[in-house]
Amino acid sequence: MLTVLRGGHIVDPATGQDAIGDVWFKDGRIVAPPEGGKADEEIDVSGHVVMAGAIDIHSHIAGGNVNTARLLLPELHRAIRARLAETPLSTAKWSSYETGRLYAQMGFTTVVEPAMAPHHSLQTHLELNDVPIIDKGALTVLGNDDFLLRMMRSGESDGAINDYVAQTVGNTRSLGLKCINPGGVEAFKENMRAFGLDDVVPFYGLTSRQIFQALQKATQAVGIHHPLHLHMNNLGIAGNIDTALDTIDAAQGLPLHLAHVQFYAYGKEGKNGFSSAAAAFAEKINANKNVSVDVGQVMFSQTVTISSDVLKQFNSMPGAIPKKGAIFDGDANGGGIVPYQYKISNYYNAIQWAAGLELFLLIKDPEQVYFTTDHPNGGPFTTYPELFALLMSADLRAQVMSRLPTEVLEHTTLPSLTREYTYYEIAQMSRSGAAKLFGFKDRGQLGVGAIADIAVYKPSRDVAGMFRRAAYVFKDGELVVRDGNVTRYTRGKTLHISPRFDQNIVKRLDSYYDDLYGLPRTIFDMPDAALPNKDAFAEVACKE
């Protein structure tokens, strides 16, 4: 059926559109207007903003750590009891089904889980497959795994490491590679409780710098579009701005993506020894176009922190709110679950909130900085509408700043920042830029041939309300949301890549698993037949 959205304000940076126009689509794809302009269905969207479906590049929505959080915090889970409308996390019910619904209502059509352990890939994909409406993807975690560290300790060639990376990413059916506190998690197992960029991993004799640089080069060599997705050392520690700046220098000009960088934008100024260093961080990013970041914005709410950085999570246990947590010191990265509540009255939390907004407002290129709360670590993804509103209104930011502890404003540049994001910049950050980051040619845009993933919003003085409840959302050309309510549940696909590699690495891995575990490597395979629907996956082409 040929459909046209008539007379909307089209905001599509990928095609340079920022004007009133029409969007035509048929059989799930954007098409050119036909001669004569006759459509089977015409929808009047005059007075509305029309964008491509949004892409969330970093949100923990599936896998072992997510499910551990569900088990640890049953009081926040819908299956235990209904939540009252105004209680914390009332809109984030921690089920895969609700995840798809809530994202779709906000106009999001693609979401990437950023931390899939290779040995847990089957569980992760089963859960992603259960998320309705939206398309999904994941990043495979390497950097603390014994096989890689053994290879590097033995001085094996770049080619061998490249083959291992390509085989692991392909076998786990992911979109790329994530590295979490490289070497630091392995060092934690040897009772180290702090680990920096040039500290040495016991037994392996490798530094964090060496590990991430090897994976960074491998990611580029095997044709993965998305740069190495790096969770740096020293997350959340006062003065960790030095680690962040040194890491950017260590990238040596190669593409690199830094995750949830708000958690690294801290100095040591003031009587509390904790201040925002976001201005220096933003200046560094602006000067290094090879580096992209997502912010991991803190929002004032009850949440839970989920991370495979067990060193960091172990150190965070004393600050848990409520007082409970879980640390899984398992193969490779393991996991840590620590609940936490960000309070507007808390000096440290307020600095974190301000630092994240500074990064958004000081980084010049919206396609170099990406929109995340590192769900759920900085706050649930259901707070995205409020964050959009903060970025688009200096007055709203001032209202919130008036409620912060007075001394906070002395240690952040936020009060001096008057920049307000436009719809076009919001679309660059959450649509066109995100698509480029992953090499998506078919989404994040409204150009002819793109998938008809479309979000339509009714402008309002209540910007958060506007983004929370889209007027229309189309997924693959099907109307799935109307007036903020899901009207049709469809089944999205899981996106993945298939990098090429020398098959000799498979023989080596077979021998490794047999010798070390007495198990066949194939028990960790992720075959098509593992999922109930035949068309669960869609392949994204690698770089040539």
Distances (CA, A) of 300 to 350, 410, 413: 9, 20, 19
pLDDT at 83 exceeding the cut of 80: no
Q: Which of 59, 125, 114 is nearest to 92 (CA)?
A: 59
Distances (CA, A) of 250 to 146, 165, 198, 244: 23, 20, 11, 10
Note the pLDDT tens digit of each residue in 227-244.
Answer: 999 999 999 999 999 999
Domain of 329 in residue numbering reads as 50-495
Q: Is residue 228 one of the residues assigned to a domain?
A: yes
Note the pLDDT tens digit of each residue in 377-426.
Answer: 999 999 999 999 999 999 999 999 999 999 999 999 999 999 999 999 99
> Contacts by 20-27 with C-beta closer than 8 Å and gap 24+?
20/46, 23/50, 23/446, 23/454, 25/452, 25/454, 25/474, 25/477, 26/1, 26/2, 26/477, 27/477
Q: What does 172-189 look like in DSSP terms, one character per residue? A: TT-SSEEEESTTHHHHHT
Tokens of 213: 């640089």
Q: Is residue 37 one of the residues assigned to a domain?
A: no
Q: Is residue 286 one of the residues assigned to a domain?
A: yes
| pTM confidence score | 0.95
Q: Is residue 4 one of the residues assigned to a domain?
A: no
What is the number of domains present in the chain? 1
Q: Which of 306, 399, 380, 394 is nearest to 342 (CA)?
A: 380
Q: Is residue 362 one of the residues assigned to a domain?
A: yes
Q: Which of 204, 210, 182 is nearest to 195 (CA)?
A: 182
Q: Is residue 1 one of the residues assigned to a domain?
A: no
- The pLDDT score that the predictor gives to residue 92 is 46
Note the pLDDT tens digit of each residue in 476-515.
Answer: 999 999 999 999 999 999 999 999 999 999 999 999 999 9
Q: Is residue 102 one of the residues assigned to a domain?
A: yes
Tokens of 36: 């004569």
| pLDDT classification of 79: cutoffs 50, 70, 90 | very low
Q: Is residue 169 one of the residues assigned to a domain?
A: yes
pLDDT at 90 exceeding the cut of 90: no
Residues making up the chain, counted from first to last = 544
Q: Which amino acid is at 246?
A: D
What is the mean predicted confidence (pLDDT) over 282-308? 97
Q: Compute the Cα dihedral for 458, 464, 468, 473 and give only its sign.
A: positive
pLDDT at 87 exceeding the cut of 60: no
The domain that contains 311 carries what CATH number? 3.20.20.140
What is the mean predicted confidence (pLDDT) over 301-312? 94
- How far apart are alpha carbons 377 and 373 in whole angstroms? 7
